[in-house]
Structure 1
Amino acid sequence: MSIASPETLKGLMATYFNEVKGTDRIVSSSYKRILNKTLKMFAVDYPEYECLDNQKKILCTTYPTKIPLPHTASRRDQSSLEELYELYANSSNTRARTRFVVPVMSYKDKMICRSGSVLCCQPTENVKKDSALLKKLKISTVSNFMVYDRSNPSSKILVGLSEKEPEIKHYYSDVKLEKLPIRAVPNLKCFASYNYDFTHYMYKQLETIGFLKPKIDLSQHLVAPNNDQNAPKHINFMKLIELYFERMIQILKDPNETGLLIHCLSGWDRTPLFISMIRLSLWADGLLHSHFSAKEMAYFLVSYDWYLFYHRLRRRLQEKAELIHFVVYMMQFLTDSKFSLNNTPQRVRKLKFEQLYNEFLPGYSSILPLVKINDPPHFKIEC
């Protein structure tokens, strides 16, 4: 097999970095080979999966042309795929950039879904049908990672379902909205300049979080810079990520929760960041993709969660915002039992994340010279 083949992570990263814009990418042979390989890998965990056709009946131009649905998602009440298609199509009309709600994995029959945010000024009928899809997927909680810009009152993006008009809010009354606001891209532009060590990097945008009153109490983690109690307080960026991730694990552990939807504004930066973290945690626990080696897991992570569901890799790397790298880097700090869904020993999780990083790094590093970013240091882990 050629090292430049899309079947290798190095080949995948090269294809990803050089991909053409818009719908032209879906007709390339490399795209089709990556999609077909990813679908075969998806089938290992979901052998009865069905595919939503997103090519002949385009629902979203930045989603895969074939969208695999975990079998539990399509067979909860024996709904036909055509009936489900209509629900997905309406969600496409309701969500930002037509990035509709779609399940991408499951845990104990709980659907874990991703999407863009709900657009403001939606006709009641659209919202009604979008909420019907959430009910079909049994989504009980929405983790919203958006940061709303109060300086832009003309924004067409909804802060959260609770902000909607009462008659529309009614249709989402069965869904709990958890505001977990964070700005990822602006902060990760500093990742390389910190020599890929974010352990002391401070998140300095709490003013964008405070008024949203997130679910988690951050007060005990706030720090006054230079002990100046009059200055705006900051929080460690990785601690904020950790707290948000722990909250999502708590949701998945809760027997009263039936499904989780994760979204940010467009669903292609912060959304895959947290979706990937959940996927990797489930893999380390042996609860999902348990037959995947570290090499296979690295490939599937990049191909499915980022490439096929679209993320502006070239643009983000040119901005030095290394989101995919940060996800794999961050996992070494999420090994404690509170991040595990089945109390997997910490040493086991650490070892698996180390193996994953060592498989991920060579393929990822191969594209960094294209944007003049120095190679990240070799993964170091304390046992």
Structure 2
Amino acid sequence: MEEISTDEINELLLYFSRNTFRARDSDAHVVSNAGGEMSAHYPSQLIIMEYERNGKINPPCDYPSRANGTIYESVYDVNKLKDLFGKARFARCRARFPLPVILYKGKNICRSSTLAGGPEIYGRSGFDYFFSGEETGLDDKEAEKNDNLQPGDWQLFNRVRNQDIRLLKTLNVGAIIDFMVEKKKVKFGVKVTSSEKVDKESRYSDFTIISLPYPGCEFFKDYRDNDYEATGLVFDWSQGHVDASIDVPEDNIASQLKIDWENYKMWDLVKLTQNYMQLVLRYLVEQPLGLLIHCISGWDRTPLFVSLLRLSLWADGAIHQTLNAAQILYFTIAYDWMLFGHNLNDRLSKGEEIFFFCFYFLKHMLGEEFSVTSWQFISGTGSLRGSGSNSTCGSHFSSNNSRTPARRERLRAVRNLFYNCYSTTVGFKFKNGSDGSSFGNLFGNFKEKVRFISGQRTSV
């Protein structure tokens, strides 16, 4: 911890004597992860948002529920939730268990890594048992219920996966969105991870599994080498390790987008990201439960889409309504990227600028097709919902596009601010070897490449 001066203590006491802290956007609980006791790659304090404080949603009646109870009842018990985190962490790669990071209309957007493979499950569980002297896995009643499923080591494998499922259901997750381009990650001939889409026991059949293969961070070196231009940049899907295919459910949610998903291998990076973002937003809005988003480790592609979702919903005024452009930019960089383990230093050294691409892409999601406040759609019950509905529960958005200009200005403000800060700190490396770290070089070279906006209202 950094040194604290007497003046800082005096300022704190003076402020404290005149102000009482009140949450502005949502009520939240904090689960301690001090010393990385649950996950070494997660923040030391895990923020669990309980409900929004915008006056539009009143807890707990508006929360979607499963047969096992409402999310409000489950999440409110922080000790129980921490216990679930501790038991479920063995199921996922690097112990990055599902954690809610965005709350939208009572629905959690969660993030995690993919499912761990057998070697990691057995190794991590055995390591924890050896040093803690405590058994991991299910409580006694659930252990008895599952004892007959598999003999020997597979019994542990099954118990760990069931704890993961138990946590997902507690968080009211309904759909799992997998951005891996592999069915299972293979290193040196060993399958080191798995994924829900290839679970042999179909344990995750209660969830909607959506496979959206998306290039890993290595591909973003091509983006950097293309002078930070993603248009026309197409991933090579013929590579040997790429064996996952797109799998979008044929339901009334995905069908509204009228996208031919079979053509995904022909889309450039912009179109691929746009179509995936539209699909994720549709599922968030129209299904009654929350989402889990993950890639392999959960620290490159996962923060990309989590950050884009947060910024998109904020620009619509749907979440974080009290934050301005600088505050939401600071929050998403610190929380969504840095504190959840994105290794920016390593990625920059390799030219894999997926972090920069996140804010570059904001210019490609300004339109109303990404705005949850401008949609008019068929709800899950088959009734047309629009500005005429005054429902407070479930899906409801006005077809009024009056907020779209505000959305555009908000996203432009974030993008401009990020470019200004990035250019004077991290800087840019162009294909010709020039260094765009100075602001003069940014305007001299970078403006034509990425259509940088500086204060004036021009097309992005």
C-alpha distance in structure 1 between counterparts of 2:269 and 2:288, whole Å? 28
Partner of 1:141: 175
Q: Deviations over 1:314-370 (max 9, x none)?
A: 011111222222111101111222211111544332221111112112222233259
1:365 and 1:105, CA in 2 relative to 1: closer, same or farther beyond 3 A?
A: same
1:370 and 1:360, CA in 2 relative to 1: closer, same or farther beyond 3 A?
A: closer
Q: In the comparison of the two structures, how many residue pairs are matched?
A: 332
1:67 and 1:242, CA in 2 relative to 1: closer, same or farther beyond 3 A?
A: same
CA shift, 1:92, in A, is 1.5
Q: Does residue 382 of the first structure (1) align with residue 459 of the second (2)? A: yes
Q: Is the 8 A contact 2:177 2:292 kept in 1?
A: yes
Q: Does residue 358 of the first structure (1) align with residue 416 of the second (2)? A: yes
1:94 and 1:243, CA in 2 relative to 1: closer, same or farther beyond 3 A?
A: same
Q: Deviations over 1:30-87 (max 9, x none)?
A: 9xxxxxxxxxx994322x2111100067101111111111114973346521111111
C-alpha distance in structure 2 between counterparts of 1:188 and 1:154, whole Å? 26
Residue in structure 2 matching 1:180, options 185, 188, 212: 212
Partner of 1:99: 96
Letter in 2 for 1:44: R
SS at match of 1:348: helix
Partner of 1:297: 328
1:190 and 1:137, CA in 2 relative to 1: closer, same or farther beyond 3 A?
A: same
CA shift, 1:221, in A, is 5.9
C-alpha distance in structure 2 between counterparts of 1:86 and 1:29, whole Å? 34
SS at match of 2:191: coil
After TM superposition, the structure 1 stretch with the greater mean CA deviation from structure 2, 201-210 or 179-188, is 201-210
Q: Is the 8 A contact 1:50 1:74 kept in 2?
A: no
After TM superposition, the structure 1 stretch with the greater mean CA deviation from structure 2, 316-325 or 201-210, is 201-210
Q: Does residue 114 of the first structure (1) align with residue 111 of the second (2)? A: yes
1:85 and 1:239, CA in 2 relative to 1: closer, same or farther beyond 3 A?
A: same
Q: Is the 8 A contact 1:141 1:257 kept in 2?
A: no
Letter in 2 for 1:335: L
Alignment of 1:1-383 (within 5 A): 43-46=23-26, 48-55=27-34, 58-72=37-51, 75-77=72-74, 79-121=76-118, 122=121, 123-148=157-182, 154-158=190-194, 160-166=195-201, 169-170=202-203, 172-205=204-237, 211-215=244-248, 217-220=260-263, 234-254=266-286, 256-343=287-374, 345-369=403-427, 373-375=435-437, 377-378=446-447, 379-380=452-453, 381-382=458-459
Q: Computing the radius of gyration over CA atoms, which structure comes out larger, 1 or 2?
A: 2
CA shift, 1:120, in A, is 2.3
Percentage of pairs with the same residue: 27
Runs of at least 5 residues in structure 1 that lack an aligned partner in the other structure: 1-26, 31-40, 223-233
With the length of structure 1 as denominator, give the TM-score of the two structures.
0.79
C-alpha distance in structure 1 between counterparts of 2:169 and 2:270, whole Å? 33
C-alpha distance in structure 2 between counterparts of 1:103 and 1:219, whole Å? 31
Q: Is the 8 A contact 1:102 1:114 kept in 2?
A: yes
Q: Is the 8 A contact 1:204 1:235 kept in 2?
A: no
When the two chains are superposed, the root-mean-square deviation of aligned CA atoms in Å is 2.9
C-alpha distance in structure 2 between counterparts of 1:341 and 1:42, whole Å? 28
C-alpha distance in structure 1 between counterparts of 2:263 and 2:200, whole Å? 34
SS at match of 2:162: helix
C-alpha distance in structure 1 between counterparts of 2:199 and 2:180, whole Å? 15
SS at match of 1:325: helix
Q: Is the 8 A contact 1:192 1:373 kept in 2?
A: no
C-alpha distance in structure 2 between counterparts of 1:299 and 1:346, whole Å? 23
With the length of structure 2 as denominator, give the TM-score of the two structures.
0.66
Letter in 2 for 1:284: A
C-alpha distance in structure 1 between counterparts of 2:226 and 2:78, whole Å? 48
SS at match of 1:246: helix
C-alpha distance in structure 1 between counterparts of 2:263 and 2:371, whole Å? 23
CA shift, 1:155, in A, is 1.3
1:55 and 1:221, CA in 2 relative to 1: closer, same or farther beyond 3 A?
A: closer
CA shift, 1:310, in A, is 1.4
Runs of at least 5 residues in structure 2 that lack an aligned partner in the other structure: 5-20, 52-69, 122-156, 249-258, 375-400
Q: Is the 8 A contact 1:74 1:81 kept in 2?
A: no
Q: Deviations over 1:242-281 (max 9, x none)?
A: 1111110110121x33010000000000000000010000
1:191 and 1:174, CA in 2 relative to 1: closer, same or farther beyond 3 A?
A: same
C-alpha distance in structure 2 between counterparts of 1:278 and 1:248, whole Å? 9
1:290 and 1:150, CA in 2 relative to 1: closer, same or farther beyond 3 A?
A: closer
C-alpha distance in structure 2 between counterparts of 1:180 and 1:98, whole Å? 23
Letter in 2 for 1:54: N
C-alpha distance in structure 2 between counterparts of 1:325 and 1:180, whole Å? 21
- Relative CO higher for 1 or 2, CA cutoff 8 Å, sep ≥ 6? 1
Letter in 2 for 1:317: L
